[in-house]
Amino acid sequence: MSSAYDALVIGGGPAGAASAILLAASGWRVGLVEQHAFPRRKVCGECIAAGNLELLDRLGVGAQFRALAGAELRRVGWMHAMTTIAADMPACTVGPYAFGRALGRDHLDPLLLGRARELGVTVLQPQRVSAVAGTIGAYSVEVMARGEPARRLEARILIDAHGSWQRGPQVAGEGHAARAANRAGDLFAFKATYLRASISPGFLPVLAVRGAYGGMVLGESGRTTLACCIRRDTLAACRAAQPSLSAGAAVEAYLRRECRGVRELLGGALRQGAWLSVGPLRPGVRLGPRGGNFQGGGIFPVGNAAGESHPLIGEGISMALQSAAILAPILSAQPASAFDAERGAAAQYRYAAAWRAAFLPRLRLAATYAHLAMRPPLAAAAGAVLRRWPRLLATATRLAGKTRSAHISHLKSPELA
């Protein structure tokens, strides 16, 4: 396989770009396929926790990130019905950065992908991976570009970074998982950006509303992001109540009606561009106990493709970047040409164990917070407790991972600095 890549990465979001950067910096020949042209907007709250800023430095984009991003996130809030409670954001005490920041995905994703290109990654964009065949050491990947015939690329290892909100490529020998039946509790995610919202720089309120949760933040260039998740049944009720509105506008009207904090912050705001939406989201672990795609042996899922936390805690980008930082050193400890079924299985095993240790507690906690936020009696009780002891909000934030280090001391840094 002389024309093969050592690793081919499927998807150019934070998980895919970070994996490509780290593997290329270790001397691997890396290709990356991203189906969309950048910059593109994406449904996301766009907040990056403090522990990842040092990781962004190691990836070689830290200075540019800090130059572009919004103010340090120093206050956290809880908004439910008529209640708004705010507390100081706990500082991250590990590493050089104490507070997280927010940056639009139309800036962050091109920044990371540009860095991958600088390190010699072949970026194929906009192109789509439609099918995968083969096994570890000899994968054959079908890539489609609009208006061109499909072509095949060869790679020893595949990094599945295609996210979780759409089907991944068809893997030969594996049927597509049957589409899950619709459930009332399925979550749909929405996002819009506004100018002239009256949110303070560095304030990160969480919104708790019957059947929905969300967050708001002032990012770069005076742009406020509102991102939220709403249950299928609640969305249907919103749309029925406001049949003349688009789904996004009906959701915004619902949030304004149910939550005084949203009404106040969006009072004189002007929405920029259309609402974005995705769904249904199914938070949970997709990585098996022995890694991903164990049969093929050489397909390693990172980011949302490996597992997804409820967006309420805003940790998905952290998990995307950090899963890449966990996986890349496991893979690059040996040359790509050394991988056979046995070594692939061993790497899958190590990766799965490290992934679970790093992220499972965060996933479980996020699920608990999400269910609490979406149920008014629980959200009201939480509000009463937080009003009495606002510092508990800081504790809840700390538990959600906002002050956690990205555990990057194992990454080789000189070539990435």
Q: One-letter amino acid identity for 275? A: W
Handedness of CA 118, 1, 26, 340 (dihedral sign): positive
**Interacting span for ligand FAD (CB under 6 A) from 10-18, 77-85, 357-365, 372-380:** 10-18
**Please, are residues 189 and 311 in contact by the beta-carbon 8 Å criterion?**
yes
Cα–Cα dist 140/156, whole Å: 9
Q: Which is nearer to ligand FAD, 276 or 346 (CB)?
A: 276
Query: Is 15 a binder of ligand FAD (CB under 6 A)?
Result: yes
Structural tokens at position 91: 């500082």
Residue 25 or residue 321: which is nearer to ligand FAD going by CB? 321
44 binds ligand FAD (CB under 6 A): yes
| Peptide bond preceding 289 in cis form (omega within 30 of 0) | no
| Smallest distance from ligand FAD to CB 316, Å | 2
Q: Applying CB under 6 A, which of residues 4, 7, 13, 112 lies at the interface with ligand FAD?
A: 13
Per CB under 6 A, 320 contacts ligand FAD: yes
Find all residues with CB under 8 Å of 221, minimum gap 6, and list them. none
Query: Which residue, 34 or 258, is less far from ligand FAD as judged by CB?
Result: 34
Residue 10 or 111: the one with the smaller Cβ distance to ligand FAD is 10
- Name beta bridge partners: 299: 158
220 contributes a contact to ligand FAD by CB under 6 A: no
Asked if 11 touches ligand FAD (CB under 6 A), the answer is yes
Binding residues among 231-290 for ligand FAD as defined by CB under 6 A: 281
Q: Which stretch binds ligand FAD (CB under 6 A): 1-9, 90-98, 131-139, 303-311?
A: 303-311
3-state helix, strand, coil in the chain (%, to 5): 40, 25, 35
Please report how the helices 316-332 and 51-59 are oriented relative to each other, as an axis angle in degrees rounded to 10.
Answer: 50
Residue 341 neighbours by CB under 8 Å, 6+ apart: 135, 136, 297
Residue 69 and residue 409: Cα distance in Å, rounded? Answer: 25
Query: Which C-beta is closer to ligand FAD: that of 125 or that of 413?
Result: 125
- Binding-site residue total for ligand FAD (CB under 6 A)? 39
Token readout for 161 is 């970074």
| 39 CB neighbour count, 10 Å cutoff | 15
Q: 196 — alpha (psi -120 to 50), left (phi > 0) or beta? A: left
What stretch of H or E contains 377?
helix 376-388
161 phi and psi, to 5 degrees? -125, 40
Does 311 participate in binding ligand FAD (rule CB under 6 A)?
yes
Q: Which of 193, 318, 348, 397 binds ligand FAD (CB under 6 A)?
A: 318
Please, what sign has the CA dihedral across residues 333, 92, 392, 283? Answer: negative
Taking the C-alpha atoms of residue 252 and residue 250, their distance in angstroms, rounded to an integer, is 5
Contacting range for ligand FAD; rule: CB under 6 A; set: 5-13, 59-67, 90-98, 231-239: 5-13
Q: Which stretch binds ligand FAD (CB under 6 A): 113-121, 222-230, 329-337, 403-411?
A: 222-230
For the segment 123-182, give every residue that binds ligand FAD (CB under 6 A). 128-129, 161-163, 166, 169
Residue spans of alpha helices (H) in 229-315: 232-241, 247-258, 260-265
Cα(143)–Cα(45) distance, rounded to whole angstroms?
30
Q: Which of 123, 199, 227, 265 binds ligand FAD (CB under 6 A)?
A: 227
Task: Determine the interface stretch with ligand FAD among 152-160, 245-253, 259-267, 308-316 (rule: CB under 6 A).
Answer: 308-316
Min dist. Cβ of residue 279 to ligand FAD (A): 8
Interaction mask 181-210, ligand FAD, x per CB under 6 A: --------x-x-------------------
Judged by CB under 6 A, the chain residues 45 through 104 that form the site for ligand FAD are: 45-48
Binding test (CB under 6 A) with ligand FAD, winner from 12, 62, 70, 205: 12
Q: Which residues bind ligand FAD (CB under 6 A)?
A: 10-16, 33-36, 43-48, 128-129, 161-163, 166, 169, 189, 191, 227-229, 281, 303-304, 311, 314-318, 320
